[in-house]
Amino acid sequence: MTATVASADGSPIRYSVRGTGEPALVFVHCWTCNHTFWNAQIDYFSRNHQVIWLDLAGHGESGSHRQRYTMPAFGEDVAAVVRQVGARKVILIGHSMGGPVVVEAAKQLGDRVVGVVGVDTFYTPFEYPESPEEIAAFVKPFETDFHGTSDQMLHSMFVPQADPIVVEAIVGKFSAADPKVGVSALYELFDWNAHQAPRDLKRFADKLYNINAAPTGKGSAANAHVVMVPDVGHFVAQVKPQAFNQALEGIIAALGYAGDRVTP
């Protein structure tokens, strides 16, 4: 069953809850996708945890009352759901753009947040454009041909040996994306990474972990809080769900929790 809660700007945010057990795991999707990207994780982790999914404003089943799709506004979507559910302890898990989103949500949720997990988002080799000119140049092709440019970019995010059926199934889920939402969110994502990321990653360093891709199998972790999954591209949880789930279980244990029990 699903429900709807109003975000800070009134945008209707669709969400659902499965399972029981603290800490609750909140799964936040990436740019122009939706909660179904987490299906394998929702099924697996709801056995021992309360699992919460949501669609960010303008994505999936959620509506929108906003003109700018900023990372703080997306963070308000997540915070609204967590408060509505009444979860007392949460681990926020965000893929790609969802990484900055869960960091912004953590600012709003305070002590409720016992862990933040970025998935192939922080400490990756991808070089984000930083200056206004660089950001505009990167986004311009999306303004001209949103779906064609998105399709090309998405196909580049898989390793050569990836199963073509899996690739097309994942890429196909992006076909319903709203270009207006996508273009705005790209601008705001790059702006956040240029101006906000250094300060916020330092602020949450003690509870921030990452599960990142190592496409060639040779990537090294940037720090002790980064888990590398070899031989996979950007969509780690979707292409290698078992490896991802094991990595997330390890992070949950490292944060001091196992299932719904605190470890000694």
**Full DSSP string of 131-154:** SHHHHHHHHHHHHHSHHHHHHHHH
Count of beta carbons in the 10 Å neighbourhood of residue 218: 9
- Residue 263: what pLDDT? 35
Whole-angstrom Cα distance, residue 44 to residue 116? 19
Spatial distance between the Cα atoms of 143 and 147, rounded to a whole number of angstroms: 9
Domain spanning 2-128+195-262: CATH 3.40.50.1820: yes
Distance between CA 23 and CA 11 in Å, rounded?
Answer: 27
- What one-character DSSP code corresponds to residue 258? E
Tokens 């949460």 belong to which residue? 90
Q: Determine contact, residues 56/80, Cβ cutoff 8 Å.
A: no
Give the residue ranges of the chain where pLDDT is below 70: 259-264
Length of the chain: 264
Q: Domain limits of the chain? A: 2-128+195-262
User: What is the model's pLDDT at position 175?
Assistant: 84
Confidence (pTM): 0.94
Assign 97 to helix, strand or coil: coil
pLDDT of residue 217: 80
Task: List for the chain the helix, strand, coil content (%; round to 5).
Answer: 45, 20, 40
pLDDT at 262: 35
